[in-house]
Structure 1
Amino acid sequence: MSEDQKTKGQLDLGINRTPEKDRNFHLGGRSFYFFDFDDNIAFLTTPLILFHKENRAEQMISSGDFAQFNSTIGKSGVYADFEIDFCDVTGTFRNFRDHSISDVEKIAGKRQVFVQDVAEALGFPDFQWKGPSWECFYHATFNQRPLSVITARGHHPDTLKDGIKVFVQNKVLPLEPNYLSLYPVSHKPTRLLLGDTEYSEGTAELKQRAIRASVEKAIETYGYNAHHRFGMSDDDPKNIELIVQEMTRLKARFPEMSFFMIETQHGSFIKHEVKVGGLQGQKVEDLSQLSFFEDDRRKS
């Protein structure tokens, strides 16, 4: 490891940072952080695969482009002649699912695609793989805030943990998160857990359910307190729309608590506070900000 890498790792381990209490700690409140993974915490090179309608030729597409164009795939625009195949083994999302790995392959070091892709991402410069919510993710982890990962991926929750553990092993994250919940909403057992017994709900609807379940688990685990604060970051426009809808319902249910939606489309960072009567939003130009919840905090 080079001296630059050593220094970078030491800084990322938080040696120059001091753990901070929750903003509402003195009132008994906690801050809960909910994250989508792809293009939020990190940019991975995991491709999705579209299929030509006539000859089944495969077209790779990034997760960011898929979030932008998924509503027009097969209908109009650059991907009008392509379609989505929902087979978990051979279809569009095959790289976003766990694969069967034999004991022999495990001994040889083979890992799930997600874990491999996280490791490969760390070979690129920070600005290429760190997503717009990375610093918030780091801040939440460093201070052991209760944290949820709510992703469209279909891996087993343990696979998500294994991938995030790679950040710790490579010293870009100081320790493993204080997990409140993990919801890879395309993972079939997770879908059942969220009540989608017919496997008919879309990703955005499942994320709604996962947010609701995570808020309920937060209250069950940490107790009811009017000063709890919840924030969720996502980059997909449809997901954002339905997340805001769900948070509006949660705000009506728990009016004393605070709810925030963070849009990270195209690398931006737009924070909205969800009110019963609508949104309050502001664009934050400094993408290195540490917290979903505080604009004026001192960066260490």
Structure 2
Amino acid sequence: MPILGKLLHTRSRRDSVLHQLAAKGELEDIDQTMNQMLNALERLALDDSASVDARFTAIANLRYASGTQVSNIMPSLIDNRQPIEVQRAAMTTWGRFESNAITETLLNQWSSLSPSLRETASEILFSRPDRLTVLLNKVASGNIPLSEISRSRLQVAAKSSDETIQELATKLLDASGSKNREEIVQAYQSSLQTRGDAARGSQLFTTHCANCHRLENRGHEIGPNLATVKTRGADFILANVLDPNREVNPQYLNYIALDVDGRTLTGMITDESATSITLQRAESAKDELLRVDMERLQSTGMSIMPEGFEEQLSPQAMADLIAYLMQVK
């Protein structure tokens, strides 16, 4: 399947020999084989009795299908009765296509998506200007709570070259509360004097931190190793949770890449070669982008870790999280 996928990718380029051959109808045998494989993948993707791993792989490989075929399959797979891995794969594959239907589907199901799936949906909706405009208008009208949109994503959108997106994102940032992170850090100083519960803090780590940090065999190893932060002290933990852009290791900077298809991809650079880069973000989601397909790559100057945790953690909850991190061995 990857070989045929490479062939399809190459033939889509107007200046390629394969594109010219396809225009002359000289790739019929390959097209027939490809269609048979794609139809088999479709049946497997929709087969509830198949293993989740097999369905996940089938859905991922449907990125080689047509936009029409994908749009017919994916809505039924983005359903909370489906395994979360199947839902995420369906979103990710469908998100690669130019489709108004995926925007409508994700926004209609927004309230029923789990937090991790909502993060995947956000990545897809923020990846194209047309999708992002619809999302920001939904938030501005109150149909989607502003608190459910990452402040860091809004900060990136506020720097967009699209004036409509820039204006909408800036207004939402202004409405989302104080931009002065130091004021928020100072407001949470009581957490340093409050007795925390490490057991509750452990649960908070799983809920809020494990998407990007791995600790005690839980989570994803994307951000820094939190087992060492206790040596820096509780005040360091507090400041860096609430103001993650205060002190950013270049390794954990968030980047924006724009590809030739108009997609916007984000994440920290975890791998580079002469021909490609790899961007990684929450829950170890990755995008590999060929340099020849990349129109622009730019650092946001901000950490991969989002701002706004004060909206999810009360001062007592912060004390609990600090208590847990300070006792991890």
State the TM-score, normalizing by the size of structure 2: 0.29
Answer with 1 or 2: which has the greater Rg: 2
- Which one has a larger percent helix, Structure 1 or Structure 2? 2
State the TM-score, normalizing by the size of structure 1: 0.31
